[in-house]
């Protein structure tokens, strides 16, 4: 054997063979139940186990004919049947056949990585009952089980919330992302956020749009013995540490009232939008403006016409919007009269109504003295201290009015020269 061959043989003997071992994936370790479990069970919670851990559930049923405030729960579904006669779409519109799920959460904080959901509340119709399901998180170790129990991975449901688009659903999405390797894919659902509806319908009538405020002023429902919502995280943490469920039951009742109010408030909002009940001129104008913003111009004009016929000069804002719709339809001379009745408003509408009068006088009527008069009125309204407008709007509009005034003066001078030459 040559020298080179002996070296190679020695190297092969010195090199240790690597042992290849197949490592089996460890199975998830079962997380034990909390030591206070028996206390929670005695308080009326049920234990739910799934492949991810443990969650606790409280369920309750309500007859549809039961009242919450000034409405029955059934009145919502009667109101929803009216949508069948409305062809146009609307953010509040839902079919009676849709699976409506009223949803609300309680969390340990409003934002931040450390904030998490500890209570998921659902309310759903089952035949002639409403079924309340409240899932309680025993500890963060069971969060995957808690989220899985919510069934948010299911399709074909419509969520109904109060500020859920900005808070509850993003919070669920954030927490779900942390467990995305374990949990099924989170589905996107149709979502009706009643806070948006409240702000559109009752604008200028409410000092605040908190759900409790809407309960008291719209639903005639007053909570007795309710806990302040901001105390819920502290109460929950104490219930987990002490194992005493009494204060936790107060949080569940708070969440229960939130959900029940969503049902009757939704019915109230639908009845108001579809004009199924008598309300104030301010609310009627708000509803018609909402339709206008949704580009449902036919419905909007019809409602503004009815408002003007009913309330007359009490509703200058309705006159302004009706003028805009008539002008859009190619009826500027009719629109002029409606704009003229809203130029006195101490806000942006008053300024824009004066400008619209000036435009119609200049281009359709060709009455330049009248056009100059309304241009001057628009500028005076624009510069008045009591006029509620932004500084940016004031500056931009002032430039436009200066240009308009200069153009009209030139037209007046040209008109005078023509008369002189005649």
Q: pLDDT of 74-128, one tens digit each? A: 999 999 999 888 877 899 999 878 899 999 999 998 766 678 999 999 999 999 9
Q: What's the pLDDT at 29?
A: 63
- Residue 416 pLDDT class (50, 70, 90 cuts): confident
pLDDT, tens digit, for every residue of 313-322? 999 999 999 9
Query: Strands 158-161 and 100-107, how do they pair?
Result: parallel
Give CA–CA dist 64/414, Å, rounded.
74
- Residues near 133 by beta carbon (within 8 Å), at least 6 away in sequence: 57, 58, 59, 121, 122, 123, 124
- What share of the chain has pLDDT > 70, as a percent? 92
For residue 419, pLDDT over 60 is answered with yes
- Report the interhelical angle of 332-340 vs 348-360 (nearest 10°): 140
Q: Tokens for 80, please give them.
A: 């929803």
Task: Output the pLDDT for position 24.
Answer: 46
Q: What is the pLDDT of residue 20?
A: 44
Is the predicted pLDDT of residue 4 greater than 90, yes or no? no
Instruction: Quick: pLDDT tens for 16-64.
Output: 544 444 444 345 567 788 888 999 999 999 999 999 999 999 999 999 9
- 15 pLDDT more than 70: no
How far is 206 from 93, CA to CA, in rounded Å?
24
Each residue of 124-141: pLDDT tens digit?
Answer: 999 999 999 999 999 999
In this predicted structure, the answer to whether residue 7 has a pLDDT above a threshold of 60 is no
Residue 25 has what pLDDT?
A: 39
pLDDT digit string, tens, across residues 240-258: 888 889 889 999 999 999 9
pLDDT at 230: 86
Spatial contact of 150 and 72, defined as CB atoms under 8 Å apart? no
Q: What is the mean pLDDT of residues 218-246?
A: 91
Distance of CA 335 to the CA centre of its chain: 34
Residue percentage of the chain with pLDDT more than 90: 78
CA angle 343, 346, 350 (to 5 degrees): 30
Distance CA 275, CA 332 (A): 29
Q: How does the average pLDDT of the chain come out, rounded? A: 91
> Residue 158 pLDDT > 70, yes or no?
yes
Q: Is 180 exposed, middle or buried (0-12, 13-18, 19+ CB in 10 A)?
A: exposed
Pick the range with the lowest mean pLDDT from 5-14, 204-213, 258-267, 296-305. 5-14
b/e map of 202-228 (b: 16 or more CB within 10 Å)? beeeeeebebbebbeebbebeeeeeee
pLDDT tens digit string along 344-370? Answer: 999 999 999 999 999 999 999 999 999
The pLDDT value given to residue 9? 66
Task: Give the residue, 1 or 185, on which the prediction is more confident.
Answer: 185
Say what the pTM is.
0.87
Q: Which domains does the chain have, with CATH numbers?
A: 37-273 (3.30.420.10), 281-421 (1.25.40.10)
Burial 375-413 (b: 16+ CB within 10 A, else e): bebbbebbeeeebebeeeeeeebeeebeebbeebeeeee
């Amino acid at each position: 054997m040559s020298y080179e061959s002996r070296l190679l043989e020695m190297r092969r003997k010195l090199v240790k063979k690597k042992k290849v071992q197949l490592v089996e994936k460890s199975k998830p370790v079962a997380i034990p139940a909390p030591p206070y479990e028996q206390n929670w069970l005695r308080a009326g919670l049920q234990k739910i186990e799934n492949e991810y851990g443990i969650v606790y559930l409280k369920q309750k049923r309500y007859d549809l004919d039961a009242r919450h405030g000034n409405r029955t729960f059934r009145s919502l579904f009667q109101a929803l049947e009216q949508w069948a006669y409305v062809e146009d779409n609307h953010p509040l519109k839902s079919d009676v056949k849709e699976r409506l799920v009223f949803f609300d959460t309680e969390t340990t904080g409003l934002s931040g990585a450390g904030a998490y959901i500890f209570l998921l509340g659902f309310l759903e119709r089952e035949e002639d009952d409403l079924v309340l399901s409240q899932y309680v998180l025993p500890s963060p170790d069971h969060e995957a089980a808690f989220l899985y129990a919510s069934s948010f991975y299911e399709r074909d449901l419509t969520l109904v919330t109060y500020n859920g688009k900005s808070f509850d659903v993003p919070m669920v999405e954030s927490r779900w992302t942390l467990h995305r390797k374990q949990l099924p894919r989170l589905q996107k659902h149709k979502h009706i956020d009643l806070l948006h509806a409240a702000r559109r319908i009752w604008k200028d009538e409410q000092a605040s749009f908190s759900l409790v405020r809407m309960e008291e002023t719209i639903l005639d429902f007053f909570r007795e013995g309710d806990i302040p919502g901001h105390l819920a995280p502290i109460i929950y943490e104490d219930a987990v540490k002490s194992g005493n469920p009494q204060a936790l039951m107060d949080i569940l009742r708070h969440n229960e009232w939130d959900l029940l109010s969503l049902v009757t408030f939704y019915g109230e909002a639908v009845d108001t939008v579809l004009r199924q009940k008598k309300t104030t001129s301010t609310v009627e104008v708000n509803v018609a403006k909402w339709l206008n913003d949704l580009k449902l111009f036919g419905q909007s004009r019809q409602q503004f016409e009815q408002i003007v016929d009913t309330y007359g000069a009490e509703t200058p804002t309705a006159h302004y919007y009706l003028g805009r719709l008539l002008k859009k339809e190619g009826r500027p001379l009719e629109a002029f009269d409606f704009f003229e009745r809203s130029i006195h408003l101490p806000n942006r509408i008053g300024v824009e109504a004066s400008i619209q009068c000036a435009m119609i006088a200049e281009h359709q009527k060709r009455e330049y003295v009248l056009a100059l008069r309304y241009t001057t009125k628009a500028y005076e309204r624009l510069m008045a201290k009591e006029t509620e407008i932004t500084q940016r709007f004031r500056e931009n509009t002032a430039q436009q009015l200066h240009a308009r005034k200069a153009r009209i003066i030139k037209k007046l001078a040209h008109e005078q020269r023509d008369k002189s030459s005649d």
